[in-house]
């Protein structure tokens, strides 16, 4: 069916509505750069607070690819999540309460910092688990937060040595944190450095031999080689942002990793004297085009950041009026002839460089620092990871279920039930040997989604599109089997362009298409083998011993990954 001639066909361009695009290649390069600047000291990549808002696990993996030897988080729970995702490098955690799960830290081989009071809790957990804890001692050299005071340092050393001798802990490090390294002219850094040297000397005199001593954060790593010791703890720099007020990322050889983008929600012309947003704190000085941006303080854009920059239609324009919970308004500075043309175009709040605004400009508008701008980007903004040098290895599954079926029809029925849980943007990755029933399963999905039938094995066409017959998502059916030999072939399918609006099913897709999105369901189909000979080609003759029913028995395992699949798995009914 064609639309009438005078009615334009409306289609979605496939832009994510609100996205923080994270350049993992930039993170890797930033870590490599800082590593080369501080060598032979090593780098601890600080990935607390969801990787400063960038997405903790992918960022940690990119940092490790860039040569980070350690990871650092504030909370034990953050480090446990990293271990769950398969991260094996040493991790230090430094902010605990009496409610902290030190047992989990010990079980996962996570280093815990102590200022003093934690030692009793840590020792108790170690005794319970009969496993020594890895502990780092923190000295307060002047910041006035965590860390033992100079007066208590000797006592802390004594206690730690005693617990080490009894086998309950191993003291792996000594560290402190700087207060003013981002202002290189200030002398307090020298005083903190002198106190740190003193604390280390005392520990050595007491007989402690540690793996790592560390003091520097990003600004000290970049400006004070005398603070590098064995390790530098780098946060903001690895995300490509500058900790110094008067130096840009480019000045430091760093590349900002986060681009915050959205789509213009509305655009219209208004006359001079038109008020804008709550409180009517802005009035248009002349006739102009106002553009509505669907991001607000619920998404982490500070309400106080009126005046902040947005790149729309190739121009950097300022936010005018009060920033609301979900939206903000930009004055384009002139009246467009067709303001409606701006609707649906991309708007960039901050990004890498060149014409895009920097997070620092938002920080200035809000009277804060770039750290806060990126870290507070909220959960309604999708994180999209690009330029990963390696295929992304999925983190822990949100859930896993296994269903048995004993006929082809039942396999299709389970797939059709599963289809009820699907929506546009979903990616299903099928695996299982030849004849395991991947195409049968896809036929069931198609029936459940209500798409055109005619689903057959796509082996020789690579990709088929089955249109929805009821206004739902189309089904894209792909065979990645032969693509394994030809990496360009996968690109040429351009799955990205249809991913957001369709349900995409990829046979043989495991470890080939996970880079497309962090959200996907792996479906593994296995034939029930009644005898060990059943799958062995040499025993082909004995297969006549099996009834047709045995041939059709399957176990189907669903493993769901990514935020999209958080929550309960769907209820699927197969064989009893």
Ligand X SMILES: *Cc1c(COP(=O)(O)O)cnc(C)c1O
Computed on alpha carbons and rounded to an integer, the radius of gyration of the chain in Å comes to 28
CB of 35 to ligand X, least distance (A): 14
Give min distance, CB of 241 to ligand X, in A.
9
Q: Supply the minimum distance, in Å, between the C-beta of residue 394 and ligand X.
A: 27
Using the minimum distance from each CB to ligand X, give the nearer residue, 48 or 121.
Answer: 48
Q: What is the C-alpha separation between 383 and 373, in angstroms, rounded?
A: 15
Report the alpha-carbon distance of residue 174 to residue 157 in Å, rounded. 10
The 203-232 contact track toward ligand X, x by CB under 6 A, reads --------------xx--------------
Contact string (CB under 6 A) for ligand X, positions 173-192, x = contact: ----x---------------
Of 217 and 502, which has the nearer Cβ to ligand X?
A: 217
* Residue number, 243 or 395, with CB nearest to ligand X: 243
* CA 80, chain centre distance (Å): 16
Shorter beta-carbon distance to ligand X: residue 134 or 477: 134
CA distance 288 to 268: 8
The residues, ordered by sequence, that sit 6+ positions from 431 with a Cβ below 8 Å of its Cβ are 438, 508, 509, 510, 522, 523, 524, 525
Nearer to ligand X, 48 or 559 (CB): 48
CB of 441 to ligand X, least distance (A): 47
Please say which residue, 51 or 574, places its beta carbon nearer to ligand X: 51
Among the listed residues 110, 157, 234, 359, the single contact to ligand X using CB under 6 A: 234
Determine the Cα–Cα distance for residues 547 and 549; give it in Å rounded to an integer.
Answer: 5
The CA distance from 537 to 560, in Å, is: 33
Q: How many CA atoms lie within 13 A of 366 on its CB side?
A: 22
Rounded-to-integer distance, Cα 236 and Cα 218, Å: 6
Looking at the Cβ atoms of 234 and 416, the one nearer to ligand X is 234
Answer for which of 110, 169, 199, 236 binds ligand X (CB under 6 A) is 236
What is the distance between the alpha carbons of residues 221 and 203, in angstroms, rounded to a whole number?
24
Q: Minimum CB separation from ligand X for residue 38, in Å? A: 12
Among 147, 240, 243, 437, binds ligand X (CB under 6 A): 243
Q: Site mask, ligand X, residues 524-543, x = CB under 6 A? A: --------------------
**Which of 54, 134, 224, 233 touches ligand X (CB under 6 A)?**
233
List binders of ligand X among 91-120 (CB under 6 A): 94
Buried b (16+ CB within 10 A) or exposed e, 410-427: bbbbbbbbbbebbebbbb
Shortest reach from residue 314's CB to ligand X, in Å: 33
Cβ pair 51, 385 in contact under 8 A? no
Judged by CB under 6 A, which of 20, 46, 480, 505 binds ligand X? Answer: 46
SS3 category, 428: strand
Residue 235 in the binding site for ligand X (CB under 6 A): yes
| C-beta of 94 vs 385, nearer to ligand X | 94
**What residue number has its CB nearest to ligand X?**
235
Per CB under 6 A, the segment of 187-195, 233-241, 250-258, 320-328 that binds ligand X is 233-241
User: Which residues are tagged catalytic?
Assistant: 48, 278
Concatenated DSSP letters for 434-491? TTSSHHHHHHHHHHHHTB-S-----TTTSEEEE-BSSSS-EEEEEE-TGGGG-HHHHH
In the chain, DSSP finds a helix count (H) and a strand count (E) of 17, 26
- For 525, the 3-state DSSP assignment is strand
Site string for ligand X, 417-436 (x = CB under 6 A): --------------------
Minimum CB separation of residue 217 from ligand X in Å reads 4
Is 414:525 a contact under the CB 8 Å cutoff? no
Tell the smallest beta-carbon distance from residue 390 to ligand X (Å). 25
Q: Residue count at the site for ligand X (CB under 6 A)?
A: 12
Residue with tokens 């400009």: 361
| 31 interacts with ligand X by CB under 6 A | no
State yes or no: residue 63 binds ligand X (CB under 6 A). Answer: no
Q: How many whole angstroms separate alpha carbon 506 and alpha carbon 361?
A: 43
Task: Please tell me the distance from the alpha carbon of residue 260 to that of residue 337, in angstroms, as a whole number.
Answer: 28
Applying CB under 6 A, the residues found at the interface with ligand X are 46, 48, 94, 177, 217-218, 233-237, 243
């Amino acid at each position: 069916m064609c639309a009438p001639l005078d009615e334009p066909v409306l289609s979605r361009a496939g832009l994510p509505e609100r996205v923080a695009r994270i350049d993992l290649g930039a993170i890797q390069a930033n870590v490599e750069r800082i590593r080369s600047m501080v060598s032979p000291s090593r780098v601890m990549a600080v990935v607390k607070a969801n990787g400063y808002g960038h997405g903790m696990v992918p960022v940690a993996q990119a940092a490790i690819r860039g040569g980070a030897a350690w990871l650092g988080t504030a909370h034990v729970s953050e480090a446990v999540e990293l271990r769950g995702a398969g991260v094996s490098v040493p991790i230090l955690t430094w902010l605990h309460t009496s409610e902290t799960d030190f047992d989990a830290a010990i079980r996962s081989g996570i280093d815990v910092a102590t200022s003093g009071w934690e030692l009793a809790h840590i020792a108790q957990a170690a005794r319970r688990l009969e496993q020594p804890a890895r502990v780092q001692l923190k000295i307060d050299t002047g910041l006035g937060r965590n860390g033992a005071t100079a007066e208590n340092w000797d006592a802390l050393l004594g206690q730690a040595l005693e617990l080490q001798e009894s086998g309950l802990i191993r003291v792996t490090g000594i560290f402190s944190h700087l207060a003013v390294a981002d202002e290189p002219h200030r002398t307090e850094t020298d005083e903190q450095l002198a106190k740190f040297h003193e604390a280390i000397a005392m520990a050595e005199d007491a007989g402690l031999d540690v793996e790592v001593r560390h003091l520097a954060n990003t600004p000290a790593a970049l400006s004070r080689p005398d603070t590098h010791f064995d390790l530098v703890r780098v946060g903001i720099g690895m995300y490509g942002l500058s900790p110094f007020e008067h130096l840009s990322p480019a000045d430091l050889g760093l590349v900002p990793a986060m681009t915050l983008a959205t789509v213009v929600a509305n655009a219209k012309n208004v006359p001079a004297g038109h008020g804008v947003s709550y409180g009517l704190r802005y009035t248009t000085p002349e006739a102009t085009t106002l553009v509505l941006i669907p991001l607000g303080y619920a998404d982490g854009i500070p309400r106080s950041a009126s005046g902040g920059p947005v790149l729309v239609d190739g121009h950097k324009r300022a936010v005018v009026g009060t920033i609301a919970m979900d939206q903000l308004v930009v004055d384009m500075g002139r009246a467009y002839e067709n303001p409606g043309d701006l609707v649906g175009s991309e708007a960039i709040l901050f990004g890498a460089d060149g014409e895009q605004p920097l997070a620092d400009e938002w920080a200035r508008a809000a009277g804060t620092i770039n750290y806060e701008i990126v870290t507070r980007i909220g959960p309604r903004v999708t994180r999209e990871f690009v330029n990963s040098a390696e295929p992304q290895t999925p983190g822990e599954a949100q859930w896993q279920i296994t269903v048995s079926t004993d006929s082809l029809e039942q396999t299709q029925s389970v797939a059709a039930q599963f289809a009820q849980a699907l929506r546009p943007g979903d990616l299903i990755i099928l695996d299982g040997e030849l004849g395991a029933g991947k195409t049968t399963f896809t036929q069931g999905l198609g029936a459940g989604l209500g798409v055109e039938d005619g689903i057959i094995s796509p082996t020789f066409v690579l990709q088929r599109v089955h249109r929805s017959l009821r206004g739902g998502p189309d089904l894209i059916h792909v065979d990645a089997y032969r693509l394994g030999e030809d990496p360009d072939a996968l690109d040429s399918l351009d799955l990205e362009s249809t991913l957001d609006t369709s349900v995409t099913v990829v046979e043989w897709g495991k470890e080939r298409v996970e880079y497309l999105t962090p959200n996907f369901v792996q479906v593994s189909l296995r034939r029930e083998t009644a005898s060990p000979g059943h799958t062995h080609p040499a025993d082909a003759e004995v297969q006549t011993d099996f009834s047709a029913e045995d041939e059709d028995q399957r176990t189907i395992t669903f493993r769901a990954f990514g935020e999209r699949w958080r929550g309960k798995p769907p209820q699927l009914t197969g064989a009893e």
